[in-house]
Chain A
Amino acid sequence: MGIVEEAHNLRMIGKGSKTVVLAHGFGTDQSVWKHLVPHLVEDYRVVLYDNLGAGTTNPEYYDFERYSSVQGFAYDLIAIFEELQLQDCIFVGHSLSSMVGLLTSISHPHLFSKLILVSASPRFLNDDDYYGGFHQEDLSQLFEGMQSNYKAWCAGFAPMVVGGDLDSVAVQEFGRTLFNMRPDIALSLAQTIFQFDMRHILGLVTVPCHIIQSSRDLAVPLVVSEYLQQHIGAKSIVEITPTEGHLPQLSSPDILVPVLLRHIRDDIADAK
């Protein structure tokens, strides 16, 4: 077992000619796709992996410097593709991983046939001519909270992000995976995520992008999806699903899974 496989808990299941790579976002692990995977395994080869820093990965492998930018995760993704000898995959990325996918696709477009971006945002922080949803003060508060009491922070953050009741299954689930992360890693990761700004690279993307967005998402305002579509260099499509929260695949699988399946199956039609 190679280092990549071990570090990322790589799993390849299902059969089919096409490969779907499922990449999770912050505070979760590959289990976030559990509702989707059963629907895919019949027709696709499904690759699941954990981003480093997730609770299921070995914290020893977490390199604070490497993962201080999205580029580090992109390298990981490339390594995974290399390890599995994958090419021309359908990449489904959630949140952070959607950006990782975008970034990787710029330097390695041959690896992807399309990108499906779930709850993606190129930048969470507001800017003069950009509304990302977060103020710098919000973030400082957030980081402070993470530092002072991680558990309490998780308990507050999970329902906020998922957008459900405190005792809903999805919140419980996200809270679990979130709390699984080592606090310092979570903090560093959160800093990476909330500080990154991928807006400038959007224009360089050449792989078709499907943007899937909850109609109510605390982390990603609707305008961001619009922004993404306008700025992504390749052809792109936005679907706003009637779901709530940043993790629709977890909180409303009944709505999101069919949507995802449709996007995985179908490509964007060429404009006439």
Chain B
Amino acid sequence: MPTPVGVAKQCLTPDASRALEEAVSVARRRGHPQTTSLHAVSALLSLPSSTLRDACARARSCAYSPRLQFKALELCLSVSLDRVPSTQLADDPPVSNSLMAAIRRSQASQRRQPENFHIYHQISQQPTSVSCVKVELQHLILSILDDPVVSRVFGEAGFRSSEIKLAILRPLPQLLRYSRSRVPPIFLCNLTEHPDPGRRSFSFPFPGSFGTCDGGAENYKRIGDLLCRSRGRNPLLLGVCADDALRSFTEDVNKQRDGILPVELSGLRVTCIGTDISKFVLENSDNETFSSRLKEIAQMIEQGVGPGLVANFGDLKSLVDENASNEAVNYVVAELAKLLELNYGKFWLMGAAASYESYLKFMGRFPSIEKDWDLQLLPITSTRPQDESPRHSLMDSFVPFGGLFSSPSNLKGPLHGSYYCVPRCLQCGGSCVQEVLPASNERLSADPYQSNLPPWLGTADLGITKGLNGKTKEDSVRLDTSESGPIKKLDKPSQHLHDTQQFPEAIPCQTVMSSRCSDGEKEDVDNHSRKISDASPSVYIDLNSSAPIAEQMISTTHSSSPVPVVSKSDQDNPIAKAVEILQKTKDLDSGDLGSCNMSNSSMCDGGQLSPSSVTSVTTDLGIGISFSPTSNKSKNPTMGGLKEIASPLSSSYNLVNRDVFKHPAQSSSCLSSDHSGRHDLINPKILLEALAKKVTWQVEALQSIVKAIAYSETSRGKCLGANQRGAIWMNFVGTDRIGKKKIAVSLAEILYGSQESFIFVDLNREEINGHDAKFRGKTILDVLVGELCKNPLSVVFLDNVDMADMMVQNSLSQAIKTGKIIDSCGREVGANNAIIVTSFSVQEDQWNCRPKTEFSGYSEERISRTKGAPIKIKVEHVIGDTRSPSLTVLKCSTDGVPNPIPVNKRKLSCDNALNDQHKTSEMAKRAHKISNCFLDLNAPAEENELQFTDDGKPEGVSTATLNPWLQELYNQVDETIILKPYNFDALADRVLNIIRRSFHSILGSECSLQIESEVMEQLLAAAYVSERDMEVEDWVEQVLTGGFTEIQQRYSLSARSIVKLATCQEQAPGVSLLPPRIIVD
């Protein structure tokens, strides 16, 4: 058990306890959970008149220059400190066991000191004695040096702890101290860096926290780690000195210095668009310049070698500025998000926010920005105002010494050092910047300052001046930007995409969890979902708001316990749990600022969560499932409850946690599961409804589609683990081409937000070549890969898969196995997030040969090939009593219209069926699975239900004739969806009814109307293809009625008149299916 700081302090003398305080503040600054001996060492070294540092200086080996060895020590120490996991803390990090042990050891040794022996011996008679021994600083240092961790650090830096200890025990005379132990040149360099000596971040051999000077390296490391991550990979540096950190990072990366970035990112480039953005946003210049800049970036990404490109968008302030044009900001945000999405893995965004307020403001305007930009807050902790406390006042006193003890002999070192220090030291504090700025301006304008400096400082000073120059510019911009603009909440549901979803590599952890849960505790969850759901709103908010942190933790905890424990007690006591979660969220968020350097430590964080919170998290995961499609039973009843609970909870969060309240729209949109584009959460019922609205006639097929999607959503998590594809492959079977396409388009629209996400690929090569000049030179695969690159979240519709050539076949087989599609140039794109729909053309022979009755004379094939032609009205008079019905559809011989399909198997078999209906029905009895394909449209709908859609693939059904590749593909798809043939008869009835009504209302019921089948087909085709339901109705009302009226005016119609609707075949093509006017003969 770590000891609270207060308790530990009781054992220390004021001196020692100040050192401890310092150590605690080091730990706090770094967000470490405990104060360890390392922190103590760090603090001890940075203390003014540090005994330890003096001792080190004396004990150091003569082989190295003192500077070098101190530098080494500094590095070793900061490396070891970096290894300590960081976390979020509410309070001061308690004293670790090891440090506490060191304190106890020193207590013990102090008691053994001969001069003290007597006193302590007496005291120790009393029971509470030990704590009364006040440890002196010297003893504390000695026993801390005994700590193996500490002595290792010293050892790495080339010191020997024993020697240091010896040096401590035998201090040198006070007089010699400075001349020997200080390293004067360093002060000189400090002087040059810090024109205002009163400022902090004094570059000492051991700068306070290792965060000021060394903060650079540390920050780089954290940034680099972030960039390597698969999500939350775009750092937003937060803090007063974030801007400087950002700039120095940019500079150093572009200088390609080693060691700044992790190896896998070496070669990364950074481009600055900050000024572009602020110019664009503030001056409201036209989109042109900015978009061309973006284009440039896109090009750079595309052509770039190395791991990719980071766009540094500079200070967030310009985006939240009052004077910024909203449109421009929206544009910037959207464009950058687009770039990010398109170039995932090769493109990063990076920015800085000086204050949390501006970040909040930005979040307020773009609630989904964290997701859209995949942002991760990265507090630059090295300098925080509250940490400045005691050190500065003390440190200041050294400045004069620095001046005094400067010795020209070490010129080279300090100059060099100062040069490198410039970017780093500029990091210190925006507050500092404000003060530095006037100073620097002064300096810039009043050159004489330089003459004040020793001549050899000239170079270094130039360096600073340059750095400050940049600063000045930036700052003037910043000063322009005044505070808060109107906070406009933009609800962009379609952009709430779960960022992980976009990328195959990153497993959407929510999905993983829910699916895992569904394995283990599915029933349990179902049973209790009502109860659990009480807590679920908080889960959602939790996950969404404190996004990556929480999620990462959760995923970690989860992976450590593959079978989630949905403990009974938790379920029984949802309120308690909710509170618990609330608390946790609070924890997470209150620590938000300080503890986001979670780059490499989040794993440990997860581990350090208290057991209770782990359970609660796990339970949350169980709840995830109530949104996931498997348990749609339990969902509907809970839905209302969820919403209700969500609102009070989120408002209560408001008190605790601003963070959460920023996304009320978002979280509620999740809860109400409208089409927020996150199809891992989408309600299958709602999905089905939405689909059914678009494609009314394929309800059964839609059901199985939704089921397939739901199923693969839940199994996706499992699959991904085991090197399997994550894409959903569906095979649409049936003659209803338009239906297939419409379903696919609707899926894209509903699941991914827009029709843009629909990729149509007709593998019938000739057709694709014909219709778009854009595709020339590209193979179908190139087109497909190109589109998928642009938008990985897509519904891909592969029509005529059977016509695919060798290359496409191979690639598709590969894709279905590995989830990656490779194009002709070897480019590879992950298709894991896509829904891929295939459609065969030959297959239709087997599936959909339906017996044509007298009435179902309209074949989908013919109708879909119907070209628009003008429609004319003729009037004929019949001699004699015809007694013809008032409305007839004239059946032209089908021969009249040559069927353009080259392979006409289907036609043949259909004809057979027509000829021998008896045989067909016999066949149907024999193989009843097949019989399902022979749909009798006259039978009631229930009987038409395709039974085998339940068990997935109608295996073995007439696939024998397929070529092996098709067969394989056919067997590998997740789901085969059978679409009913479109019921053209019903449609025809409807259309005829409308026409009849219109005809009778204008021309009366006396004369009869004859409609040529071509006209009918044309109308049916129009209705079939049309987006809207009422298109034909409207046409009849607006156009045909006009024609009838004209007829009535021109001719006197009797009972013997026959009004004929016919097409003018000879007409040029290009007429729409519903001609805008009717020719009256």
Contact = CB atoms under 8 A, between A and B. Distances in A.
Given A75-B782, A107-B826, A69 B776 contact: no
B298 A68 contact: yes
A106 B296 CA distance: 25
B256 interface: yes
A36 to B, nearest CB: 25
Contact of B825 (A68, A79, A107, A192): A107
Residue among A74, A77, A80, A197 with most chain B CB within 10 A? A197
Interface in B1029-1071: none
B303 interface: yes
B825 A195 contact: no
Interface string A65-87: 01011110011111110100000
A191 interface: yes
B777 A82 contact: yes
B926 interface: no
A79 B782 CA distance: 13
A221 to B, nearest CB: 19
Contacts of B299: 68-69, 191-192, 195-196
A128 B774 CA distance: 37
B143 to A, nearest CB: 50
B826 A68 contact: no
B302 A76 contact: no
Contact of A63 (B256, B298, B774, B824): B774
**Contact residue range for chain A?**
20 to 34
A200 B777 contact: no
Interface of B is mostly: helix
Contacts of A198: 303
B2 interface: no
Contacts of B296: 191, 195
B778 A75 contact: yes
A7 interface: yes
Contact of A199 (B305, B773, B782, B825): B305
Interface in B275-317: 292, 295-296, 298-300, 302-305
A161 interface: no
Contacts of A4: 776-777
A1 interface: no
A271 interface: no
Nearest to A76: B777
A75 B777 contact: yes
Residue among B256, B777, B778 with most chain A CB within 10 A? B777
A64 B304 CA distance: 19
Contacts of A76: 776-777
A218 B304 CA distance: 24
Interface string B762-796: 00000000000110111000100000000000000
A195 B777 contact: no
A7 B824 CA distance: 23
A106 B825 contact: yes
A269 interface: no
A200 B302 contact: no
A80 to B, nearest CB: 8
B897 to A, nearest CB: 29
A75 B778 CA distance: 6
Contacts of B825: 71, 74, 106-107
Contacts of B774: 63, 66
A78 B305 contact: no
B305 A68 contact: no
B777 A77 contact: yes
Nearest to B826: A107
A69 B303 contact: yes
A147 to B, nearest CB: 9
Contacts of B773: 3, 7, 61
Contacts of A80: 777
A55 B777 CA distance: 21
A122 B298 CA distance: 19
A69 B298 CA distance: 10
Nearest to A6: B773
A75 B256 contact: no
Contacts of A196: 299, 303
B765 to A, nearest CB: 11
A198 B296 CA distance: 16
A70 B302 CA distance: 10
Contact of A79 (B300, B776, B826): B776
Given A3-B773, A79-B777, A128-B256, A69 B295 contact: no
Contacts of A66: 774
Given A3-B773, A68-B295, A191-B296, A200 B778 contact: no
Given A3-B773, A68-B298, A192-B299, A107 B824 contact: yes
B305 A197 contact: yes
A187 B1055 CA distance: 73
A78 B295 contact: no
Nearest to A128: B256
Nearest to B271: A136
Interface in B470-490: none
Contacts of A68: 295, 298-299, 302
Contacts of B778: 75, 78-79
Contacts of B298: 68
Contacts of B303: 69-70, 195-198
B777 A78 contact: yes
Nearest to A187: B292
Residue among B303, B782, B824, B826 with most chain A CB within 10 A? B303
A3 B773 CA distance: 7
A46 to B, nearest CB: 21
Contacts of A199: 305
Interface in A171-213: 188, 191-192, 195-200
Contact of B304 (A70, A128, A197): A197
Contacts of A128: 256
A249 to B, nearest CB: 25
A200 B302 CA distance: 12
A69 B782 CA distance: 14
A79 B776 CA distance: 5
A46 B824 CA distance: 27
A75 B782 CA distance: 9
A58 B298 CA distance: 25
A70 B296 CA distance: 14
A196 B305 CA distance: 10
A188 B296 CA distance: 9
Nearest to A60: B773
Interface string A107-120: 11000000000000
Nearest to B305: A200
A198 to B, nearest CB: 8
A68 B303 CA distance: 10
Nearest to B779: A78
A61 B292 CA distance: 20
Nearest to A106: B825
A31 to B, nearest CB: 23
Interface string B811-835: 0000000000000111000000000
Contacts of A7: 773, 776
Contact of A195 (B256, B300, B776, B826): B300
A17 B192 CA distance: 75
A113 B776 CA distance: 23
17 contacts: A3-B773, A3-B776, A7-B773, A63-B774, A68-B295, A68-B298, A69-B302, A76-B776, A78-B777, A79-B777, A79-B778, A106-B825, A195-B299, A195-B303, A196-B303, A197-B303, A197-B304
Interface of B: 256, 292, 295-296, 298-300, 302-305, 773-774, 776-778, 782, 824-826
Given A68-B298, A80-B777, A128-B256, 19 more contacts: A4-B776, A7-B773, A7-B776, A63-B774, A68-B295, A69-B303, A71-B825, A75-B778, A75-B782, A76-B776, A76-B777, A77-B777, A79-B776, A106-B825, A108-B824, A191-B292, A191-B295, A196-B299, A199-B305
Q: Which 9 A-B pairs have the closest CB atoms?
A: A79-B777, A75-B777, A79-B776, A78-B777, A107-B825, A3-B773, A197-B303, A195-B299, A196-B303
